[in-house]
Structures are given as structure tokens and as C-alpha cells.
């Protein structure tokens, strides 16, 4: 009987070392969440910047040529990737923001261009109007570019994604 008790205690000790199914699933979820976050910080972030840059050219630069100032383009302007900030604000949300400010008064340039309000005069608001490059970028990302970028990132992370 003593031998059976010793064997039983040894078996119980080994069984207790095996994580429960719930613990195993939580660990798997944590690893997948980490891979998703990495894909969002890398591929989705880069795709978002590229999509915004494309819409800056097509929706902003190509439809209006300024006469009273020179554009900065990718040298500190709307097109500059350094002015397109991406930041994870929680495990599932990537914030994308163009942080270009007016050099004279510090106003956020993207809001003025997006909505067509806040130029130097009401006449300019009326002439130039809204150029919704942010909205159009969002639509492109929503219609598949974000999904495709996330998929590329998850594949890079070693997941089998179809």
C-alpha cells in the first residue's frame, strides 16, 4: 500500500504542474494579442502612412495650387512621414494623426484642409473648400488596405492567415 500511495502522490504532483485548459488558452490569447499588436505597430502603421501620403497628393496637392505660399511637401509638410504619427493607444487601437501645424500660428493644418474652414479668410474657405484626404484615407483603409496590412504582419509573425 505504501508504494501505491507514493506513486499516487508523485502522479498528483506532476498533474498539478500541468496548466489548466483555461490557463493554456489565456497564454495562447496573450501570444496572439502580442502578434496582432506587432502587426498593427509595423505593417498597419506603415500602410496607414502610405495611404495618407497618397491622398495628400491626389486630394490636396493635385486639386489646388497655392499662390501665397510654398508647400513644404515631404520636408515638414503634410506629405512628410514624420508628420503622420501612429501610436497604439491600447492593445487593439492604432491612432493615426497628421500633426502638421501652421508655421505662423500653430493651427492644425490637417483639420483646415479636411473641412475647408479656418483658412486666413472666409473667401479662401469658399474658394479652396474641403479636401477630405483623411476621410478618403480612412475609406481606403476600411475597404481592405488595413486588413491586407494586418494580414501581412500576422504572416510575418508566423501565423497561418488565409
pLDDT for 24: 85
Provide the pLDDT confidence category of residue 1 given band limits of 50, 70 and 90. low
For the chain, what is the mean pLDDT?
Answer: 92
> Taking a C-beta distance cutoff of 8 angstroms, is the pair 22, 30 a contact?
no
Mean pLDDT of 145-153: 97
Domain ranges of the chain: 47-156
Mean pLDDT of 21-50: 94
> Is residue 142 pLDDT above 90, yes or no?
yes
pLDDT single digits (tens) 68-120: 778 889 899 999 999 999 999 998 999 999 999 998 899 999 999 999 999 88
Amino acid at each position: 500500500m505504501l508504494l501505491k500511495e507514493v506513486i499516487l502522490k508523485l502522479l498528483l504532483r506532476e498533474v498539478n504542474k500541468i496548466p489548466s485548459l483555461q490557463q493554456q488558452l489565456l497564454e495562447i490569447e496573450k501570444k496572439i494579442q502580442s502578434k496582432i499588436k506587432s502587426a498593427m505597430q509595423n505593417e498597419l502603421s506603415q500602410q496607414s502612412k502610405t495611404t495618407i501620403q497618397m491622398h495628400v497628393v491626389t486630394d490636396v496637392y493635385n486639386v489646388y495650387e497655392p499662390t501665397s505660399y510654398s508647400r513644404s511637401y515631404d520636408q515638414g509638410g503634410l506629405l512628410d512621414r514624420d508628420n503622420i504619427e501612429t501610436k497604439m493607444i491600447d492593445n487593439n487601437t492604432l491612432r493615426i494623426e497628421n500633426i502638421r501645424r501652421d508655421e505662423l500660428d500653430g493651427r492644425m493644418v490637417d483639420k483646415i484642409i479636411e473641412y475647408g474652414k479656418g483658412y486666413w479668410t472666409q473667401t479662401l474657405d469658399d474658394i479652396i473648400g474641403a479636401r477630405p484626404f483623411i476621410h478618403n484615407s480612412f475609406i481606403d483603409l476600411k475597404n481592405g488596405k488595413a486588413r491586407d496590412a494586418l494580414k501581412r504582419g500576422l504572416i510575418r509573425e508566423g501565423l497561418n492567415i488565409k
